[in-house]
Amino acid sequence: MSGSGRNTRLIDIARQAGVSRAAVGHILNHSGKDRVRVSEETRARVLKIANELDYRPNRAAQQLRGKPNEILGVILDTVNIAVFSARLAAVEAEAHRRGYRLMIGQAHHDPKEIQTYLEDFSARGIDGVLCLFDVMEDLRKDLQTIFRGQPGAVIHAAPVVKSQPCVRVDTAAAIRLLVDHLVERGRRRIGIQLWSMSDQLMTLREQAWKDAVRQHRLPAGQQLVWVNPLAKQKPTPDVVDACIQQLVIEQKADAIIASNDEWAVRLIQGLRRRNLEVPRDVAVTGYDNLDIADVIEPGLTTIDQCHAAYAEAAVDLMLAAQTGKLSTSDRVRIVQPRLIVRDST
């Protein structure tokens, strides 16, 4: 015997263990559950031999017999990669906990890549699909066409087509948490920085900000909203300075809600260049609770998107969608965010 898992068959293990092939299949692959009975001694012997021979199940053969592949597919975009990488790690951990592995593809903001990966996943018979990217307006029509043929694919943030399974973090709740906290700290002129209005989540944040500040009877004019004219997530010194000029210098904002933690850090640095102290002169909040939020001085008040809870909901949806056991009322899972308070406010 070569000892290579690629060549080891059930019959090889059965012969060495002195039991039937059916018994080995029952122990290693959970087949014949109602027809095969084995003792604990036999089970231990078979598992020991399988381990010595580095046995690995033949996934292709199992698929032909209609058994699950125990593989989940994830399509990941390269935009906002720090957040999606952390979320992906949580999804992988949750999938592993349930006995599944991940197959991952990168969308590169390209509908053709998304279509290709979806077709590839389908051909491989994987057990669920999660599309882990923000839906930008320039892709919406293409994605609607693609997902009409993929009703079981779980999408991030908001459905692209009717009745599509979706998992998202409650954006409105996150913004309310930030606004309420800033008001509690005495802030009365709260501005918000958004990186692009072509991102549906930025649109949701703007509306949530307006609703929250109006609830406190605070200014909610458009002059307190700053949108990056370059429509890019990466903050450069000149656009950071333009944001501070509008919100703080011209509009006298005493707090800024940044679109993410990186923007918040750059805003803190930009305010210091103008001899403005955080939080004495201006409070700054982030979004995402990346590692940098706890490293910068002052520590950054931010939103934790609770990736573990997101992952649990996403894997639930992926598996339920593929089995057809997902009711219409249960197709959207909403994860509640947490406010993390540090010294920047």
pLDDT higher than 80, residue 60: no
Q: What is the pLDDT of residues 81-106, one digit of tens each?
A: 889 999 999 999 999 999 999 999 99
Which structure tokens are listed for 345? 């406010």
Q: What angle do CA 18, 1, 67 make, to 5 degrees?
A: 70
What pLDDT, on a 0 to 100 scale, did the predictor assign at position 135? 80
Provide the phi-psi class of 207: left if phi over 0, else alpha when psi is between -120 and 50, else beta.
Answer: alpha
Higher pLDDT pick, 320 / 186: 186
Domain map (residue ranges) of the chain? 10-64, 71-168+308-336, 171-304
pLDDT higher than 80, residue 182: yes
Cis peptide before 68 (omega within 30 of 0): no
pLDDT higher than 80, residue 62: no
Cis peptide before 57 (omega within 30 of 0): no
pLDDT higher than 70, residue 58: no
Which structure tokens are listed for 92? 């992988």
For the chain, give the percent of residues with pLDDT over 70: 92
Which structure tokens are listed for 188? 């009365």
Question: Cα separation of 319 and 324, whole Å?
Answer: 9
Nearest to 128 by CA among 78, 70, 85: 70
Question: Cα separation of 215 and 116, whole Å?
Answer: 46
Higher pLDDT pick, 195 / 251: 251
**CATH number assigned to the domain covering 10-64:** 1.10.260.40
Which structure tokens are listed for 295? 């490293």
Judged by average pLDDT, the poorest of 5-14, 137-146, 243-252 is 5-14
Q: State the number of CA atoms in the 13 A half-sphere of 231 facing the CB.
A: 8
What pLDDT, on a 0 to 100 scale, did the predictor assign at position 3? 46
What average pLDDT does the segment 180-191 reach?
Answer: 98
pLDDT higher than 70, residue 64: no
Cis peptide before 279 (omega within 30 of 0): yes
Domain made up of 71-168+308-336: CATH architecture: 3-Layer(aba) Sandwich (3.40)
Same fold, 71-168+308-336 and 171-304: yes
Judged by average pLDDT, the poorest of 72-76, 136-140, 272-276, 330-334 is 136-140
Element (H, E) at 192: strand 190-194
What pLDDT, on a 0 to 100 scale, did the predictor assign at position 309? 97
What average pLDDT does the segment 181-191 reach?
Answer: 98
What pLDDT, on a 0 to 100 scale, did the predictor assign at position 30? 61
CATH of 171-304 among 3.90.1200.10, 3.30.70.270, 3.30.830.10, 3.40.50.2300? 3.40.50.2300
Amino acid at site 21 = R
Q: What is the pLDDT of residues 301-345, one digit of tens each?
A: 999 999 999 999 999 999 988 777 777 778 899 999 999 999 999
Judged by average pLDDT, the poorest of 1-10, 31-40, 310-319 is 1-10
Cβ pair 38, 26 in contact under 8 A? yes
Q: What angle do CA 204, 210, 212 make, to 5 degrees?
A: 100
DSSP 152-201: T-EEESS-SSTT--EEEE-HHHHHHHHHHHHHHTT--SEEEEES-TTBHH
Which structure tokens are listed for 123? 């051909």
Reduced to 3 states (helix: H, G, I; strand: E, B; else coil), residue 294 is helix
pLDDT higher than 50, residue 295: yes
Q: What is the pLDDT of residues 225-273, one digit of tens each?
A: 999 888 677 889 999 999 999 999 999 999 999 999 999 999 999 999 9
Reduced to 3 states (helix: H, G, I; strand: E, B; else coil), residue 340 is strand
